Amino acid sequence: MIRIQEHVDLFPYNTFKIAAKARYFTSVTTVADLRELINHPVYKQHKHLIMGGGSNMLLTGDYDGLVIKNDLRGIETVSENDSTVTLKAGAGEPWHAFVIFCVTNNYGGVENLSLIPGTIGAAPMQNIGAYGVEVKDLIKTVEAVDTSSGEMHVFTNAECEFGYRESVFKRKLKGKYFISSVTLTLTKKNHVLNTSYGAIQQTLDQQQSVPSIKSISDAVIAIRQQKLPDPKVIGNAGSFFKNPTIDQSQYESIKKDYPEMPGYTSENQQVKVPAGWLIEQCGWKGKRIGDVGVHPHQALVLVNYGNGSGENIQSLAQDILASVKKKFAIDLQPEVNII
């Protein structure tokens, strides 16, 4: 049975800690709830916003519609053999708790994605990734409910059209499906351990740990706790912008003036450039404007020091975009969903 509340403060529901209100608010714990909701007059008459952990969105003002908090829970084993296990997780399960469940059971694959906030259901939305691993490499299928008809659709991995911080759900099917569960295949033995990215190997060496699912997860947690601001302490949504990809020729040309410019060759002679480096070069790192700013240790992370509004953050983001464009002729794209 669903219950729709009115004028609900969204402050506790978003990691930017923006004090915006939802005209209507409800939570769903089952697919049946969701189907009931789709037939409700409030749903039919208003726009709606699906909310998981609110860790990848910027609320730019009050939401004059219905916010649907995803609380679909449960983890079940779909199939397993000697070497792999396939798990289906309810979309409202917290991502990191799922990672810990896997690590505890010696299921390999997600350990590099430890400590990413948010829900299982939002993981395929932007194909979450960290420390050399993307969730697309583990996802088998995504079950989603059509937000108009209530019908269930099972998307294969290919149908999700995953890309760098992208999927079909973030692009052409935006708002059209409510992801209700995600099915992932993990290894039970012969785990493929990825220690080459970032400071993982260095941290393992310092801790004198042998690489394993558990030690990698612990190392990633330690690195992230050191590097990234904790949203419980300071409002943020992780990386605000995506790392842009530019032509090799543009990269070479900028490198003439900035020989230290980092870049990673990707497909089709394109080079991926760290957005944080570009932002830092424009002098933004550590800058504070009123109650919002750019994190002093992570130029890619915009922060709310307390009473910043969504508009304040958006305006800061626009100023950053403009200065990166002016200095480097590169267009940054937000990774965060602007609501």
| Residue 145, CB-side half-sphere exposure with 13 Å CA sphere | 23
- Measured from the CB atom, the residue of 117 and 244 that comes closer to ligand FAD is 117
20 binds ligand FAD (CB under 6 A): no
| Near ligand FAD in 101-120, by CB under 6 A | 116-119
Strand 292-294 vs strand 245-247: parallel, antiparallel, or unpaired?
unpaired
65 binds ligand FAD (CB under 6 A): no
292 binds ligand FAD (CB under 6 A): no
- Of 111, 165, 180, 309, which one is the catalytic site residue? 165
Q: Which is nearest to 34 in space by CA: 95, 90, 117?
A: 90
CB 69 to ligand FAD: min, Å = 9
Which of 8, 10, 228, 273 forms a contact with ligand FAD (CB under 6 A)? Answer: 228
Residues ≥6 apart with Cβ < 8 Å to 22: 7, 8, 10, 49, 62, 63, 65, 66, 67
49 binds ligand FAD (CB under 6 A): yes
335 is catalytic: yes
CB 131 to ligand FAD: min, Å = 8
CB 211 to ligand FAD: min, Å = 20
**Helix pair angle (213-227, 95-104), 10° resolution:** 150
Residues ≥6 apart with Cβ < 8 Å to 12: none
Which of 65, 108, 109, 231 forms a contact with ligand FAD (CB under 6 A)? Answer: 231
Length of the chain: 339
Which of 65, 108, 238, 276 forms a contact with ligand FAD (CB under 6 A)? Answer: 238
**Sign of the CA dihedral running 290, 296, 301, 303:** negative
Give 259-304 as a DSSP string.
TT---EE-STTEEE--HHHHHHHTT-TT-EETTEEE-SS-TTEEEE
52 binds ligand FAD (CB under 6 A): yes
Active site residues: 165, 239, 335
- Give the binding site for ligand FAD (CB under 6 A): 15, 49-57, 70, 91, 116-119, 121-123, 125-126, 128-130, 169, 178-179, 228, 231, 236-238, 337
